[in-house]
């Protein structure tokens, strides 16, 4: 049984993830310390600015504990969260955690003004269309052998998983569709 899903709450729109998960009847906890993280069965790392996110994780002494947590527990990273979890991010001023075997290009579609909403083709339990909200979105440029693509925008992989790690380049929390959050909960329950 799922006890608590943590939402990393040091940057980004963590509140929208929290509302989405609470709407699914899940107990949530805003994670700002190691003490909070230890109470969680799974974790959502929201979008934001990846360099700032990595800086804050180190500043709050959460980098290594979060990395260890992700080696054992389900983690879902959106946008900057995906970038943080990847193995390779060219030209980034930091080394990512390496919890999912992906190469990622930051801000691949342009600046903030170039953000957009577009249909994403999702293949989870069934094939469906999903409204993808792309805000300074990264692009997955290469996946490892153990990574399974789950969603596409045009020819680009935008949703993927490897074991208990789930990532998206877009922001499902900014829609009314809880499909992806429900899928993540299956990794925990």
Active site residues: 79, 171, 173
- From CA 121, how far away is CA 88, in angstroms rounded? 25
Report whether 171 contacts 47 (CB < 8 A): yes
Task: Name the pairing type of β-strands 86-88 and 100-105.
Answer: parallel
Q: How far apart are CA 101 and CA 79, in angstroms?
A: 15
Residue with tokens 């990393």: 8
Distance CA 74, CA 40 (A): 10
- Name the token pair of 179: 């499909």
- The structure tokens listed for 100 are 């999912």
Tokens coding 65: 């504990």
Rounded Cα distance between 162 and 110, Å, is: 27
Distance CA(35)–CA(181), nearest Å, equals 24
């Amino acid at each position: 049984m799922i006890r608590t899903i943590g939402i990393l709450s040091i940057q980004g729109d963590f509140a929208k993830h929290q509302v989405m998960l609470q709407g699914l009847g899940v107990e949530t906890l805003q994670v700002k310390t190691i003490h909070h993280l230890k109470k969680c069965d799974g974790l959502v790392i929201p979008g934001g600015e990846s360099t700032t996110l990595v800086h804050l994780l180190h500043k709050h002494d959460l980098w290594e504990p979060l990395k260890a947590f992700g080696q054992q527990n389900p983690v879902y990273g959106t946008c900057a969260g995906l970038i943080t979890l990847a193995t390779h991010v060219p030209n980034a001023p930091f080394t990512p955690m390496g919890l999912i075997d992906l190469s990622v290009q930051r801000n691949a579609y342009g600046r903030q003004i170039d953000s957009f909403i577009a249909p994403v083709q999702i293949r989870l339990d069934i094939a469906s269309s999903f409204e993808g909200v792309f805000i300074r979105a990264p692009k997955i440029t290469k996946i490892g052998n153990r990574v399974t693509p789950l969603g596409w925008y045009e020819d680009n992989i935008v949703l993927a998983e490897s074991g208990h790690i789930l990532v998206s380049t877009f922001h499902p929390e900014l829609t009314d569709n809880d499909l992806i959050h429900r899928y993540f909960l299956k990794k925990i329950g």
